[in-house]
Structure 1
Amino acid sequence: MKIGVIGTGNMGRILIEAFLEAKAVNPNELILTNRTLQKALDIQKEHAEVEVAASPEDVIRRATVILLCVKPLDIHPLLKQLSPYWTKDHCLISITSPITVQQLESIVPCHVVRVIPSITNRALSGASLITFGHRCSSHYQTYIKELFQKISTPCVIEQDITRIASDLASCGPAFFSYLLQRFIHAAVEKTNISREMATILTSEMIIGLGELLKKNVYTLPTLQEKVHVKGGITGEGLSVLEAELGELFEHVFERTHAKFNQEIEKIKQQFQN
């Protein structure tokens, strides 16, 4: 089955490289295009069997499953532009969170799926958030789950938890990357450790933490209990976190939800018009 990818920017390229590394698809099954065509050609340089199409229209003519990896406000005009080329046999996969499967189904006649990936998928890890449209056949539902299972843990979600699920699975790596950088910076500022050594130790710590969770050795609460010896040094550090963290993450989610709602309103206007 030919898979078309419209948009080979950051996330589009991450998915392409993950699928190829995991052997989820063969290179000759992929047809790529991008507004700046050179980005698609750069991928072809590394994977010679991948096909590059001159336009989105050409991708839809040649592929059955279409991964749409463009910015949210670009999707509606692009789908309208491509309206003569969609058939009922196509399966459209959108990777943007503010646009619902119902909105997509309102302007295309085909099977529709929304998959919100994570940068962690590039390591064939992390979650991918899947919402199926009402018209999406059981055949395509099985196919999409199996495809993304090769690079992630697929989680089927309902529309009402889209934003928070995306915050946790997709935005989370950026949030915790920032916190880890602050963790390293404080270590360097307050002690004689080099930034290189602090980065190595922190990176190895977080990788090890992930392995403990992956292997179900500990849950997050039991892991904290194991490290936290009563009256010990870890406890002193935790007391600072408890005192100073406050409602930091509540405020993070409030801000991301507010921005999400702004994007939803802009997209509503597009689809209503």
Structure 2
Amino acid sequence: MKVGFIGTGSMGSVLLDAFITSGALLPEQIFASNRTADKVNLLAQRHPGLNVCSNNIETVSNSDIIFLCVKPLQYKVVIDEIKDKLNQDQILVSITSPVQIRHLEEALICKIAKVIPSITHLTFSGDSLCMYGTRITPKDRLLIEQLLGSISKPTEIDESYVRISSDFSSCGPAFISFFLEQWVNAAVEITGINREEITALAGEMLLGTGKLLTEGGFKPLDLQERVAVPGGITAKALSLLKQSLDGVFHQLIATTYGKYDEDLQKCDILFGDPKA
């Protein structure tokens, strides 16, 4: 199997690095192109044997599966460039949420899948959100999920829930790390504790909490009730958080959905959707 990457920016390089590091793919199986050639060359230096392509058509011509890892508003330009070089047996995997499967199936003759990855795949963890077009066969799905299964937990979702699911699986690491950063900053400023020491404690706590929620049978409320003894320190601090964060997460979701809807409308226009 030969796998192509069009776009090797933040998330494209995460996938590429994770697939190679996990042993799912050899560098020689990968063909990659990017608008900025230096980014691909750096990856090739890190993974000797990786095939650096001079353009996107070269990537497509050599690949069975193509991961399209560009920004939403760059999709139409890339699609117009490669559409005549794709065949019905190839699989194109989109990794951005606003570009819809219907956009791609109407523009291309190949098989279409949509996968939302996460930076957590660098540690072979986290969910990869999977959605499939009408031409994807059970065999194709198995192939995709076996590949993703080497670096993540492939989880099929309905495309209508891609935004809210992405908030947790893909954006979540940034949101949680922001919370931890603010907490660590306050701890250092108030107590003088070493930043690296308290950050390491926070990381281990987060790892253990994740295991309790995924392997230990706990729900979020279960953990709160188990740790927060009535009248104790944790309970008092939780009360403060509940007051301070009231409405914040509704605003967060409204913000991500607002940006998503804006990008979706732009994609509809780019792809000539009559509903736009």
Normalised by the length of structure 1, the TM-score is: 0.96
Aligned runs of 1:1-273 on 2, under 5 Å?
1-216=1-216, 218-272=218-272
Q: Which amino acid aligns with 2:152?
A: S
Identity, % of aligned positions: 37
For the structure 1 residues 37 and 192, does the alpha-carbon distance in structure 2 shift closer, same or farther, using more than 3 Å as the test?
Answer: closer
- 1:213 deviates by 2.8
Q: Which amino acid aligns with 1:153?
A: K
* Distance (whole Å) between structure 2 residues aligned to residue 48 and residue 145 of structure 1: 26
1:101-150 per-position Cα deviation (integer Å, ceiling 9, x unaligned)? 11100100010000000111111100111110011122211111111111
* Distance (whole Å) between structure 1 residues aligned to residue 213 and residue 24 of structure 2: 25
Q: How many residues align?
A: 273
* Distance (whole Å) between structure 2 residues aligned to residue 171 and residue 253 of structure 1: 11
- 1:176 deviates by 0.9
Q: Which amino acid aligns with 1:33?
A: S
* Distance (whole Å) between structure 1 residues aligned to residue 150 and residue 195 of structure 2: 36
* Distance (whole Å) between structure 2 residues aligned to residue 39 and residue 87 of structure 1: 28
Q: CA RMSD in A?
A: 1.3
* Distance (whole Å) between structure 2 residues aligned to residue 147 and residue 195 of structure 1: 38
Q: Which amino acid aligns with 1:76?
A: K
* Distance (whole Å) between structure 1 residues aligned to residue 217 and residue 248 of structure 2: 29
- 1:78 deviates by 0.8
Task: Report SS of the residue matched to 2:170.
Answer: helix
* Distance (whole Å) between structure 2 residues aligned to residue 170 and residue 30 of structure 1: 24
Task: Report SS of the residue matched to 1:92.
Answer: strand
* Distance (whole Å) between structure 1 residues aligned to residue 47 and residue 188 of structure 2: 41
Q: Which amino acid aligns with 2:198?
A: A
- 1:36 deviates by 1.1
Q: Which amino acid aligns with 2:271?
A: F
5+ unaligned residues in a row in structure 1: which ranges? none
* Distance (whole Å) between structure 2 residues aligned to residue 196 and residue 158 of structure 1: 41
- 1:17 deviates by 0.8
- 1:204 deviates by 2.1
1:74-107 per-position Cα deviation (integer Å, ceiling 9, x unaligned)? 1111111112201111100010100111110010
Task: Report SS of the residue matched to 2:269.
Answer: helix
- Once the two structures are overlaid, the 10-residue window that deviates more, 164-173 or 43-52, is 43-52
Q: Which amino acid aligns with 1:235?
A: A
Task: Report SS of the residue matched to 1:106.
Answer: helix
* Distance (whole Å) between structure 1 residues aligned to residue 46 and residue 235 of structure 2: 50
* Distance (whole Å) between structure 1 residues aligned to residue 213 and residue 83 of structure 2: 46
Task: Report SS of the residue matched to 2:28.
Answer: helix
1:187-242 per-position Cα deviation (integer Å, ceiling 9, x unaligned)? 22333323333222222221222233343253322222221112111111011011
* Distance (whole Å) between structure 1 residues aligned to residue 204 and residue 134 of structure 2: 44
Task: Report SS of the residue matched to 1:82.
Answer: helix
Task: Report SS of the residue matched to 1:135.
Answer: coil
* Distance (whole Å) between structure 2 residues aligned to residue 41 and residue 188 of structure 1: 40
5+ unaligned residues in a row in structure 2: which ranges? none
* Distance (whole Å) between structure 1 residues aligned to residue 51 and residue 230 of structure 2: 60
* Distance (whole Å) between structure 2 residues aligned to residue 104 and residue 217 of structure 1: 40
Q: Which amino acid aligns with 2:194?
A: S
